Structures are given as structure tokens and as C-alpha cells.
Amino acid sequence: MGRWGRSQARFLSFFLPAAIFLIVLVIYPIVATLTLSFVAPDGSYAGLQNYGSVLGSPDTFNPACLQRGPPCGTLLNNLIWIGIHLPLTVFMGLFLAVLLQNVRGASFVKSLIFLGMVTPLIVVGVVLRFVLEYPIGVVPAFFGWLGIKSLDVNWLVTPNTLLLGLIFGTVWSWTGFSMIVYSAGLTTIPKDYFEAARVDGASEWQIFRKITWPLLRPVTLVIVTMTLLWELKLFDIVIGATNSQGGVGGAADVLALQMYRYFSNINYSSAAVVATLLTIFTLIVAVGLFRKLLGLPLRKKGRRTAPSVPQVETKSAKAAGDEGQGAVEGIS
């Protein structure tokens, strides 16, 4: 018992400063927001009423957009964003990582593509103006040159093109992430695997299907999770490219932006509702990753080539997931 107590005290003495920060500025605010989401503006307990009014609002969910065009509401916009952005960035990143595997100057090309990840997202939004707005942007000029009148417009003030334009903009800025992580994943696959397959006469496609893709599965899981978390928290880029209303008629409005608007209008209960919903979504995504990674068998073989990184023997699968998590927290 005494030893336990001593160990406890030593642990606490190291953890205490961090604990104070976390309790005051993370845990307490999370609990307070959760509580706030159940409180009516006059301070009385409101049950799920706030949730009902936020989710029932066409600002959040407007399925009529299927017939009548944008806006679709923040929730649907985030979902559309995920539906287009997630597959595109994952596969383009994988394609580029594989393509650049044996290219001279690959690290420079990767840096060019990765530049969008290093740039502040608010600036990425502003940069998109120089691509999508008429007459300064390349995209309208390109379609004008092709003679396609319907796309030779200012993409950022046309409801039908705004959301799509921003989604493609985020594909441009985020692909660097999956490319870099996949590239790192590729270096962990021993070269002998590829060479043995080639000696046996396998085609490049077979090599990809039978070796590269299966061995990259844990990496794919990390990338998909990080990308999902990032897509749910989209905020800066929309403001940078449009305004805090989510563009014309809210065509590119997203959940985080809606929360910010409620906050600015001192509608704290609704702000808390949107924040809580967002948190629920992100936790579902994150917990999925942890569970899967904990269940994965440790594949020792493929990790032989890790440079300068001593191996963590126990719980290495868990550490892998955590680490990627930390990575994105730093950049998203």
C-alpha cells in the first residue's frame, strides 16, 4: 500500500500542472457547454428543447435543397463535404505517394503539395478567392476559355458552385496530408516484398492490390479518421473564402460556423447544442479508431525499416493510433 501511495504521489507531482490546465480550460468548459445545451435562454431546464429547435431549423437541415438547390443546411453541407472530400483526398494522397515512390526530387514535389497543409486555413480560404472568383481566378477563366458559360462565373457568389468550389479547394489543401502519411507508410514496407513479387512476374497493379494496399490498411484507418475529424471542424476556410454567413444564402455554411454565429449573437444555448453535436460526431469517429487499433494484431514484419525509432513493445497498436491523433491535432 505504501509503495502504491508513493508511486501515486510521484505520478501526481508530474501530472499536476497539466491537470490544472486541463481541468480549468478543458474539462470544466466541456461540462459547462454540455449543461448549457439543456438550459433555456431564461435559465430554466429545457430538456431536449434546444436540440429540437436547432435540428429542426432549416439552417441546420434543409432537405428541400435536393429539389430547390442550396442552401442545404450546415449538417447536410458537412455530410456532402465528407462524401466528396474524404474519398478524393484519401485516394489522391495514395496515388501521389505511390507515384512519387521512385521519382527524383520527390521530396521537393511533396513539399509543394504539402504547402497547403502548412498554410493557415484562413489564408487557404483567401487563396481560394484567387482561384475561384471572377475575374481574378484561374478557374472561371479556364471555363470561359473552354466556352462553358455556366462555369465561367464567380464561383464564390454563385450558390450552385460555391460549396463544390470550396470542397475542391479543401481537397487541394488537404491531399498533402494523406500523401505524406501514406509516403511514410510506404517506407515501412520492406523493399524485398516488391522485389520478390517482381521477380515472380507480378504486374504493378497486382503488387499494389496484394502488397501495398493491404499493408497500408492501418495507415488508411489513421488517415480516414484524421480527415473525418478535420472535415467536421471546418471553419476558417469558409470564412476566408466567403464570410461568417457561409456565403450567399448560407450555401457553404457548416456546423462550426453556425456555432460561431450563435455565439456571436449571444444565443449561447444554441451554440452549446451545435458544439455538443459536433463533439458527439468527433468522439464517435475517434473512438472507432481506438477500438479498431486496439483490436488489430501487431504486425511486426512490416516495421523493420523504421529509421532511428526504437520500437515500443507493448500496446504499440494503441500508441500508433494515439500518435496519429496527436499529429492531426497539431495541424488541423
Which residues from 257-296 bind another protein, rule CB under 8 A? 259-260, 263, 268, 271-272, 274-276, 278-279, 282-283, 285-287, 290
> Do 324 and 222 contact (CB within 8 A), yes or no?
yes
Q: Name residues contacting another protein, limited to 218-257 (CB under 8 A).
A: 218-219, 222, 229, 232-233, 235-236, 239-240, 243, 256
| Binding segment toward another protein, per CB under 8 A, in 42-50, 65-73, 103-111, 159-167 | 103-111
Q: Is residue 197 part of the contact set for another protein (CB under 8 A)?
A: no
CB of 42 vs another protein, minimal distance in Å: 17
Helices (H), 37-158: 49-56, 65-68, 74-99, 106-118, 121-132, 138-146
> Do 177 and 222 contact (CB within 8 A), yes or no?
no
Q: What are phi and psi of 39, to 5 degrees?
A: -110, 135
**Alpha carbons 151 and 160: distance in angstroms, whole number:** 10
Of residues 81, 84, 61, the one with CA closest to residue 73: 61
The site that binds another protein (CB under 8 A) totals a number of residues, namely 116
DSSP E strands, the chain = none
Which CB atom, from 31 or from 64, has the smaller least distance to another protein?
Answer: 31
Q: Name residues contacting another protein, limited to 131-150 (CB under 8 A).
A: 131, 133, 135-138, 141
CB of 36 vs another protein, minimal distance in Å: 6
CA angle 57, 71, 281 (to 5 degrees): 60
| Binding segment toward another protein, per CB under 8 A, in 16-24, 38-46, 52-60, 77-85 | 16-24
Q: Which amino acid is at 241?
A: A
Among 13, 44, 67, 150, binds another protein (CB under 8 A): 13
Among 1, 191, 199, 205, binds another protein (CB under 8 A): 199
> Do 267 and 41 contact (CB within 8 A), yes or no?
yes
Q: Name residues contacting another protein, limited to 290-329 (CB under 8 A).
A: 290, 303, 306, 309-312, 316, 319-327, 329
